[in-house]
C-alpha cells in the first residue's frame, strides 16, 4: 500500500508540473467531514491558476489545483485517500466577499471495503464537490468553507455505492 501511495504521489506531482510551471505552494488546507457512520479528514496543498475570467466587475472566476491526502474512518477501519482536483471558484472582488466553488477531481483509495455493507469495486474514484466560503483576516489569508462532496467511480465498474461527505474546510493562503 505504501508503494501505491508513493507511485500515486509521484504521478500527481508529474501532472501538476505538466499543467503549469513549477512554483511555490500558494496555500495549505485541512478538511474534516462526516457521513452517517464514516468520518474523514484531509490535508492539502493548493496552487492558484494564473488565469482569471469575468474580471472588472464585482465577481471574478478563477481556480486552483488541490492536492490532498487523508483518510476515512469507520470504527476500527481506515481507508486512505489521495486526490488531485482542479477547483473553479467564483468570488466577490470586495474584501470579505463570499465565494462559491465547484470541482471534479481524481482520487485513489487504499482499500475497497469501508464497512460491512459498502464495498467499492475500484480504487480509482471521482471526487466532486460544491461549496460556499469566506476569506477573511489580514490580507484575506484565512479561508473557511462548507462543502458537499461525493466520491464514486462514475459507473466504471459495479458495485458503485459512492459516498457523500459534509465537510468543513479551513485554508491558509501563503501569498
Asked if residues 147 and 130 have their Cβ atoms less than 8 Å apart, the reply is yes
In this prediction, residue 3 carries a pLDDT of 57
Question: Which pLDDT band holds residue 7 (cuts at 50, 70, 90)?
Answer: low
In this prediction, residue 137 carries a pLDDT of 93
For 142-147, what is the mean pLDDT?
97
Looking at the predicted structure, is the pLDDT value of residue 13 above 60? no
Bridge partners (DSSP) of residue 126 are 106, 152
Looking at the predicted structure, is the pLDDT value of residue 146 above 80? yes
d(CA 124, CA 128): 13
| DSSP assignment of 38-97 | -EEEEEEEEEE-S--BSTTSSEEEEEEEEEEEEEEEETTEEEEEEEEEEEEEEEESSTT-
Q: Which is higher by pLDDT, 4 or 130? A: 130
**pLDDT of 49-84, one tens digit each?**
999 898 888 999 999 999 999 999 988 789 999 999
In this prediction, residue 54 carries a pLDDT of 85
d(CA 44, CA 147): 15
Q: Is 102 exposed, middle or buried (0-12, 13-18, 19+ CB in 10 A)?
A: middle
- DSSP assignment letter at 53: B
**pLDDT of 103-141, one tens digit each?**
999 999 998 877 767 778 899 999 999 999 999 999 999
- Give the cell for residue 79: 481507508
Radius of gyration of the chain (CA): 17
In this prediction, residue 95 carries a pLDDT of 87
In this prediction, residue 77 carries a pLDDT of 85
* 3-state SS, residue 5: helix
Q: Is 110 exposed, middle or buried (0-12, 13-18, 19+ CB in 10 A)?
A: middle
Q: Give which of 50, 51, 148, 59 is closest to 97, Cα–Cα.
A: 59
Most confident of 11-20, 45-54, 151-160: 45-54
- Helix or strand run (H / E) with residue 13: helix 2-19
Question: Which pLDDT band holds residue 160 (cuts at 50, 70, 90)?
Answer: confident
* Residue 154 zone, left/alpha/beta (φ > 0; ψ -120 to 50; rest): left
In this prediction, residue 118 carries a pLDDT of 76
Amino acid at each position: 500500500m505504501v508503494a501505491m501511495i508513493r507511485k500515486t504521489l509521484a504521478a500527481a506531482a508529474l501532472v501538476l508540473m505538466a499543467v503549469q510551471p513549477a512554483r511555490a505552494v500558494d496555500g495549505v488546507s485541512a478538511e474534516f467531514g462526516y457521513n452517517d457512520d464514516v468520518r474523514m479528514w484531509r490535508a492539502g496543498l493548493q496552487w492558484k491558476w494564473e488565469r482569471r475570467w469575468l474580471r472588472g466587475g464585482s465577481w471574478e472566476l478563477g481556480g486552483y489545483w488541490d492536492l490532498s491526502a487523508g483518510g476515512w474512518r469507520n470504527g476500527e477501519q481506515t481507508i486512505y485517500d489521495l486526490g488531485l482536483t482542479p477547483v473553479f471558484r467564483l468570488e466577490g472582488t470586495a474584501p470579505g466577499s463570499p465565494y462559491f466553488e465547484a470541482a471534479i477531481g481524481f482520487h485513489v483509495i487504499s482499500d475497497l471495503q469501508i464497512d460491512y455493507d459498502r464495498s467499492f469495486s475500484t480504487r480509482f474514484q471521482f471526487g466532486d464537490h460544491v461549496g460556499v466560503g469566506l476569506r477573511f483576516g489580514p490580507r484575506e489569508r484565512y479561508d473557511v468553507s462548507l462543502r458537499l462532496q461525493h466520491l464514486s467511480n462514475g459507473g466504471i465498474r459495479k458495485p458503485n455505492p459512492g459516498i457523500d461527505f459534509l465537510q468543513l474546510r479551513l485554508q491558509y493562503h501563503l501569498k
